[in-house]
């Protein structure tokens, strides 16, 4: 078996998207510290729901890379239930290699609930306690890139095992796109992965949380602060404002790709950016060009429900790139 070009590692989940009708959003200080509010102790009608299996940060990344033409696989755990069977089936349909997937007897497959209101969502999450172990590769035959993202809060030993695995396979480059629990574990606990990362991707708020800084920091401080933790390339997304990157030589900015239509549902925009930049680098694109790929997939994803349906093929993405306005360009900070 030839090594995969891209192997995503993280949890896989199934999610019903529940479209809310009667709710309000209450924010402090403009659009910060927002809360989704509904009547307590009442029966609240909803519009409809859409069930989407086999998603989650790592699963989305694996599909993204596969659609862009890479040989892509996923290392994740499912239970021996109908949801687990369905997840494996969907991955196969999406041309994601399931060789490194694990079905654990007696466990339930992760199942989250997405409360979808207007164009944004709040996700109710629960990660099952799987018996995580690192995959094994033949000497010198690790994947071209490994993409590590969201895992459960009890997964520190798994991260340590993955760090040891990567040390044995210097041929494998790492993208680290940490989830909530990975950030909560702290930089020291994740030190090995930070230092091993070729590409490290978070949003502005996550960067501030990792660096323990107050909100509103200059982006240059965030880029430099994260790179000091060890990654070679830092990418920070800032929603509709665009994204930034730093490779130790240049600090760069890329704007958001112009929306073709108003965003329909924003789940997966960050995953699309991180995985697409990573896939572009895996294909051999330079950083400047990889940064142009990321926002195009993000733009496409928010036109659909969920994080997978809007992911583009390489041909589709390159068509958007060819048709981009002159203002869509990477610029130095």
pLDDT digit string, tens, across residues 214-223: 999 999 999 9
Q: CA-CA distance, 250 to 262, in Å (whole number)?
A: 33
Look at residue 307 in the predicted model and tell me its pLDDT. 67
pLDDT of the residue at 60:
94
In this prediction, residue 259 has a pLDDT band, given cuts at 50, 70 and 90, of confident
- The answer to whether residue 280 is domain-embedded is yes
Coil/strand/helix, residue 203: strand
287-301 and 314-322 are packed helices; what angle lies between their axes, rounded to 10 degrees?
Answer: 100
* In a domain? residue 165: yes
What pLDDT sits at residue 96? 98
**Residue at 74 is within a domain:** yes
pTM: 0.92
Within-domain flag for 312: yes
Give the side-chain half-sphere CA count within 13 A for 196: 26
Q: What is the reported pLDDT for 305?
A: 63
Predicted confidence at residue 206, as pLDDT, reads 96
Tell me what the mean pLDDT of segment 178-186 comes to: 93
Output 266 or 164, whichever has higher pLDDT: 164
Handedness of CA 98, 104, 108, 112 (dihedral sign): negative
Whole-number pLDDT of residue 58 = 96
30 has a pLDDT exceeding 80: no
Mean pLDDT of 148-164: 96
Note whether 26 and 38 are within 8 A (CB). Answer: no
Number of domains in the chain: 1
Torsion of CA 181, 223, 259, 72, to 10 degrees: -60
Query: Domain for residue 127, yes or no?
Result: no
Q: Which residue has the tokens 């030190």?
A: 191
Judge whether residue 300 has pLDDT over 90: yes
Please, what is the average pLDDT of the chain? Answer: 94
Highest mean pLDDT: which range of 7-16, 47-56, 257-266: 7-16
**The pLDDT value given to residue 87:** 97
Query: Burial level of 327, CB count in 10 A (0-12/13-18/19+)?
Result: exposed
Report DSSP state, residue 109: P
The pLDDT value recorded for residue 263 is 65
- On the question of pLDDT at 267 being above 80, the answer is no
Which residues, other chains included, contact 86 with Cβ-Cβ below 8 Å and sequence gap of 6+?
14, 53, 54
**Does residue 176 register a pLDDT over 90?**
yes
Residues 110-134, mean pLDDT to the nearest whole number? 91
90 CB neighbour count, 10 Å cutoff: 19
- Assess if residue 40 is contained within a domain: no
Q: Taking residues 123-152, what's their average pLDDT? A: 95
Return the ∠ at Cα 264 (arms to 263 and 269), rounded to 5°.
65
The H or E element containing residue 36 is strand 32-37
What is the four-CA torsion angle of 316, 203, 241, 288, rounded to 10 degrees? -50
* CA-atom Rg of the chain in angstroms: 19
The answer on pLDDT for 321 being more than 70 is yes
* Helix runs in the chain, H state only: 57-67, 82-93, 156-168, 180-184, 191-196, 204-211, 219-227, 269-283, 287-301, 314-322
Phi, psi of 291 (to 5 degrees): -65, -30
Within-domain flag for 218: yes
Q: What's the rounded Cα separation, in Å, for the pair 322 and 286?
A: 17
Query: What whole-number distance in Å separates Cα of residue 48 and Cα of residue 119?
Result: 15
Q: Is the pLDDT of residue 116 over 90?
A: no
Share of the chain above pLDDT 90, in %: 84
Q: What is the CATH number of the domain that holds 305?
A: 3.40.1190.20
pLDDT category of residue 318 using cuts at 50, 70 and 90: very high
In a domain, 119, yes or no: no
Print the domain residue range for 93: 6-12+54-110+132-332
Contacts of 5 (CB under 8 A, 6+ apart): 65, 70, 71, 72, 143, 144, 145, 282
- Res 304: pLDDT: 75
Q: Residue 264 has what pLDDT? A: 61
- Do 243 and 207 form a contact (C-beta atoms < 8 A)? no
Supply the pLDDT for residue 195: 98
Beta strands 32-37 and 46-55 are unpaired
The confidence score (pLDDT) of residue 265 equals: 59
């Amino acid at each position: 078996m030839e090594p995969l070009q891209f192997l995503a590692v993280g949890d896989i989940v199934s999610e019903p998207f529940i479209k809310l009708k009667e709710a309000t959003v209450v924010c402090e200080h403009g659009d910060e510290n927002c809360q989704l509010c509904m009547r307590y102790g009442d029966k609240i009608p909803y519009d409809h729901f859409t069930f989407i299996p086999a998603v989650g940060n790592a699963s989305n990344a694996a599909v993204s890379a596969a659609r862009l033409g890479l040989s892509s696989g996923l290392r994740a755990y499912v239970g021996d239930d109908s949801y687990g069977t369905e997840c494996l089936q969907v991955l196969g349909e999406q041309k994601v290699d399931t060789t490194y997937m694990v079905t654990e007897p007696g466990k339930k497959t992760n199942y989250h609930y997405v409360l979808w209101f207007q164009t944004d969502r709040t996700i109710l999450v629960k990660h099952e306690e799987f018996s995580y172990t690192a995959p094994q590769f033949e000497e010198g035959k690790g994947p071209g890139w490994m993409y590590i993202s969201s895992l459960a809060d009890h997964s520190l030993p798994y991260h340590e095992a993955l760090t040891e695995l990567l040390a044995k396979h210097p041929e494998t480059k790492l993208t680290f796109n940490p989830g909530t629990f990975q950030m909560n574990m702290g930089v020291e606990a994740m030190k090995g992965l930070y230092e091993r990362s070729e590409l490290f991707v978070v949003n502005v708020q996550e960067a501030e949380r990792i660096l323990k800084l107050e909100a509103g920091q200059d982006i240059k401080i965030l880029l430099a602060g994260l790179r000091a933790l060890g990654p070679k390339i830092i990418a920070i997304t800032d929603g509709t404002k665009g994204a930034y990157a730093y490779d130790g030589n240049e600090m760069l900015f890329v704007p958001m790709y112009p929306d073709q239509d108003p965003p329909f549902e924003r789940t997966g925009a960050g995953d699309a950016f991180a995985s697409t930049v990573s896939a572009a680098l895996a294909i051999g694109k330079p950083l400047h060009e990889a940064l142009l790929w990321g926002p195009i997939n993000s733009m496409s994803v928010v036109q659909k429900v969920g994080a997978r349906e809007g992911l583009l093929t390489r041909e589709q993405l390159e068509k958007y790139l060819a048709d981009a306005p002159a203002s869509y360009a990477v610029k130095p900070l």
